[in-house]
Structure 1
Amino acid sequence: MTDTATAPVTWTRQPVRVGLVGAGPWARAMHARMLAAGPETQLTAVWARRTEAAQETAAPYGARVAARFEDLLDHCEAVAFAVPPSVQAELAPLAARHGKALLLEKPLALDLAAAERLVDAVDEAGVVTQLVLTKRYHPVTRRFIEEAQQLDVIGARSCYLHGAFLGGDFATSWRLEHGVLLDLGPHLLDLLDAAVGPIAEVRSTGDTRRWTELTCEHENGAVSQASLSGAVPRERALTRVELFGRQHELVYDTAGIDHEECWPILRREFATAVRTGRSGGLDAHRGLRLQRLLHRAAPGS
């Protein structure tokens, strides 16, 4: 039987013209490649603070290089962000005020106040938004959440571990400065909030640059744990969620999934949202919900 989430769908509308902000490793590896693949989207322009990097990102797809951020807005109807959270929080509200749909990264910003300003700008402009929570666009993740929501979960444990902070393209300055809570935290908090039930309280312990433990209390009385680290040497990142309840144990593990399956679904759903004018559940407001949880979990909060 064909999975409806992965079944090919004919795209009969005009492709959404998307401008990309950013030209770093993630922009090149995912955003530019995904948006240019179409048919739902077309990569029309790239802007980055380093013009040479923008040229390298745009050239394989025949996209123009914008000299200024404002110039990018003249050549697109939607803007995708692949930049540090502080830059996204600065520029996304400007794009929203110009009526552009937004494809946003997590976290929305480095702090809650900036995230709230971004979402306020989105609401005032009434633009469509979508959040790049990568795993949420994989069929395996969606089946896990659907099954989990039918269970009476009393407890859960989870982890997201990798070694990117030890060196390489993704050992970027904002990640090394602000640590694993802001980088990996949104993914696990989102999964636990969706699969176990809304998180009422969350607290953290540990070192956000080495290993952080989160304890979540859910509105339904369940308790969950999340272990986060970007400083353990692994060839491949490990994301695992184990749910325990009165029926049976349910396990989600990304070891066997191909993340390439996420991108066509993300692209199609973003383009559909733009063409229909309706954001889905994975939008800026979901990002703000996660940002509020991150704020509560931050050391000293």
Structure 2
Amino acid sequence: MEPVSVGLVGAGPWAEMVHAPALAAGPHTRLAGVWARRPEAADELAGRHRAPSFERLEDLFEVSEAIAFSVPPAVQAEIGVLAAKAGKALLLEKPLAADLDGARRLADAIGEAGVASQMVFTFRYSPATTAFLDRARELGPFGGYAANISGALQGGPFATPWRLERGAVLDVGPHMIDLLDAALGPVVSVRAHGDPLGWVGLMLEHANGAVSEASLCMAAQGELPPARVEVYGREGSALLLGSELGDDVFATVAREFADTVRRGGGHPLDARHGLRLQEIIADAERQLG
């Protein structure tokens, strides 16, 4: 297939570490250009990958078949609607938006435009996760547990304003809820307690009667274990560790996105899936106050 030309919105740390190199590496995608709210950051990142930078979003749209996002959730929701209306396929970060209204507007715009969308739920693009989910479904699962504990709010490149304000539920919650949802069946309700800027516990009920718990924290210190998901059932158990994901996750993201754009038919991790997870997150945040 001809490489899909993908414009990148955002030039922060995650765009620098992941999106730009993965999209520029090919062979399935080509970095068509970069736009960011800070033009100097866009210039630097684009130049590093021999791509142009743009001061106007419309000019980035003009040279791109698809748009990838590496910006705060509220910005993704706003610009994503514009990209969808311009007829561009969207590669979206989690969460879909900063709030449920923004997520609905973006998902609706994508649906109305009839463009492809795909979300970067990092864990889901690893062979280790595929094997874990295959095993989990064989177990007759009735329960599970997930934990994602880090010190990201203590400082570093990901202590960004939206994370410092909203904390673990909005940031790492989508990953853990998505994995439990995939392993145990659709989540139909959530009960939440704790502090998003400290420690949060979620109890999830699944459509088939299974129950799971998730522990989320981004305020820990010291040596911390990798993220983990465990599933238990009548035929045994399955375990996934974040340390098992491997180094080719983002190359797989780029390949699957190119396939989604070229062949059509959608992707299971599309904006509608992201909206369903955002509904669960919004309910949890409402309970936490």
Q: Output the TM-score relative to the length of structure 1.
A: 0.93
Tell me, in whole angstroms, the C-alpha distance in 2 between the residues paired with 1:144 and 1:183: 23
Residue 202 of structure 1: SS of its match in structure 2?
Answer: strand
Secondary structure at 2:79 match in 1 = helix
Contact 1:203-1:298 at 8 Å conserved across structures? no
Which residue of 232, 239, 263 maps to 2:250? 263
Q: Establish whether residue 113 from structure 1 lines up as the match of residue 101 from structure 2.
A: yes
Alignment counterpart, residue 131 of structure 2, candidates 143, 146, 162 = 143
Whether 2:256 is the aligned partner of 1:286: answer: no
Q: Which moved more, 1:70-79 or 1:185-194?
A: 70-79
- Residue among 208, 223, 239 paired with 2:227: 239
Q: Is the deviation greater in 167-176 or in 270-279?
A: 270-279
Partner of 1:274: 261
Q: CA deviation at 1:275?
A: 0.6
1:165 CA drift (Å): 0.8
Match in the other structure for 1:192: 180
Q: CA RMSD in A?
A: 1.3
1:27 pairs with one of 3, 8, 15: 15
Unaligned runs of 5+ in 2: none
Letter in 2 for 1:152: G
Change in Cα spacing, 1:268 to 1:254, as seen in structure 2 (3 Å) is same
The partner residue of 2:215 within 227, 246, 257 is 227
C-alpha contact 1:163 1:237 (8 A) present in aligned 2: no
Cα deviation for residue 280 of structure 1 reads 1.2
Out of 212, 216, 232, the residue aligned to residue 204 of structure 2 is 216
Match of 1:296 in 2: 283
Q: Please identify runs of 4+ aligned residues in structure 1 that moved more than 4 A.
A: 234-237
Partner of residue 128 from structure 1, selected from 116, 123, 133? 116
Distance 1:126 1:154 in 2: 37
Q: Partner letter of residue 273 of structure 1?
A: T
Letter in 2 for 1:189: I
SS at match of 1:83: coil
SS of structure 2 residue aligned to 1:250: strand
* Distance apart, 1:234 and its partner CA: 4.9
Residues paired across the two proteins, number: 288
Question: Identity over the aligned pairs, expressed in percent?
Answer: 51
The one-letter amino acid paired with 2:282 is H
| TM-score computed with the length of structure 2 as normaliser | 0.97
Q: 1:246 to 1:196 in 2, by over 3 A?
A: same
Ranges in structure 1 where 5+ consecutive residues have no aligned partner:
1-12
Which residue of structure 2 lines up, in the alignment, with residue 14 of structure 1? 2
Match of 2:73 in 1: 85
**Residue 233 (structure 1) shift:** 2.2
Q: What's the CA shift string for 1:76-101, capped at 9, x where partnerless?
A: 11000000000001000110011000
Are 2:43 and 1:55 aligned?
yes
